[in-house]
């Protein structure tokens, strides 16, 4: 079995890795194993960032053409748009966590 594909924008907290692949977010233990999809978005996603406690992932989503900030529990499930037009593909979202979750 090959491991072809593209993987990008990894973020790490303790034993959790969240990364972008196939225009969605995926998670895998840092030690390796089977990756699990966290999102199924119609648009692409970028710049995931795990919160300081590792329970939440913020990311830029492009479902409606422009970038928006989404947050989702690190286990997956329901995502929430935090603020439209606040995300930037080029900028990591760590400042968002400093602002809302106080590192």
Please write the tens of the pLDDT for every residue from 50-100.
988 998 898 888 887 778 888 888 888 776 666 554 444 444 455 555 555
Give residue 21's domain range: 8-101
The reply to whether 62 falls in a domain is yes
Strand partners of residue 78 = none
The reply to whether 66 falls in a domain is yes
CB 69 within 8 A of CB 83: yes
Give this prediction's pTM. Answer: 0.75
The DSSP-derived string for 18-31 is EEEETTEEEEEETT
pLDDT of residue 70: 85
**Alpha helix (H) residue ranges in the chain:** 94-101
pLDDT of residue 6: 73
Please write the tens of the pLDDT for every residue from 13-26.
999 999 999 889 99
The reply to whether 3 falls in a domain is no
The reply to whether 1 falls in a domain is no
Reply yes or no on whether the pLDDT at 12 is more than 50: yes
Number of domains in the chain: 1
pLDDT of residue 100: 57
Please write the tens of the pLDDT for every residue from 32-41.
999 999 988 8
């Amino acid at each position: 079995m090959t491991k072809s594909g593209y993987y990008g924008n990894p973020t790490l907290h303790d034993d959790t890795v969240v990364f972008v692949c196939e225009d969605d977010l995926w998670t895998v233990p840092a030690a390796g194993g089977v990756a699990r999809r966290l999102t199924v978005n119609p648009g692409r996603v970028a710049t995931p960032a795990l919160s300081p406690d590792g329970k939440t992932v913020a990311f830029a989503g492009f479902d409606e053409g422009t970038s928006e900030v989404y947050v989702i529990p690190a286990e997956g499930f329901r995502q929430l748009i935090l603020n439209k037009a606040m995300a930037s593909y080029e900028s990591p979202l760590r400042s968002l966590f400093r602002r809302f979750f106080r590192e």
